[in-house]
C-alpha cells in the first residue's frame, strides 16, 4: 500500500516508481490519494490499466 505519495514525491519519481511496481511480478498494489486525477495521469503516462475505487 502506498499512502499519499503524490504529496511527498515529484511526478518523475512517482512515474518511475509506478513503472517498477506495475510489473506482473510485483503483485497487487493499493494507492491512496486525495486527488484521483494524480493517479490517473501517472498510469496513463506509463500505459498501465488502472482500476479506481473512489470514496465520496
* Per-residue pLDDT tens over the stretch 9-38: 899 999 999 999 888 888 888 888 888 888
Contact 18, 43 (CB under 8 A): yes
Q: Give residue limits of the domains in the chain.
A: 2-46
- Residue 21 pLDDT: 87
- Residue 23 pLDDT: 82
Residue 54's pLDDT band (cuts 50, 70, 90): confident
Helix spans in 1-56 (H): 11-21, 36-46
Q: What are the phi and psi torsion angles at 32 (to 5°)?
A: -115, 145
- pTM of the predicted model over 0.85: no
Q: What are the phi and psi torsion angles at 18 (to 5°)?
A: -65, -35
**Position 47 pLDDT exceeds 90:** yes
- Residue 45 pLDDT: 93
Amino acid at each position: 500500500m502506498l499512502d499519499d505519495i503524490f504529496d511527498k514525491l515529484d511526478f518523475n519519481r512517482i512515474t518511475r516508481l509506478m513503472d517498477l511496481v506495475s510489473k506482473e511480478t510485483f503483485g497487487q498494489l493499493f494507492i491512496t490519494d486525495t486527488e484521483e486525477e494524480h493517479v490517473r495521469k501517472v498510469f496513463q503516462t506509463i500505459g498501465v490499466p488502472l482500476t479506481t475505487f473512489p470514496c465520496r
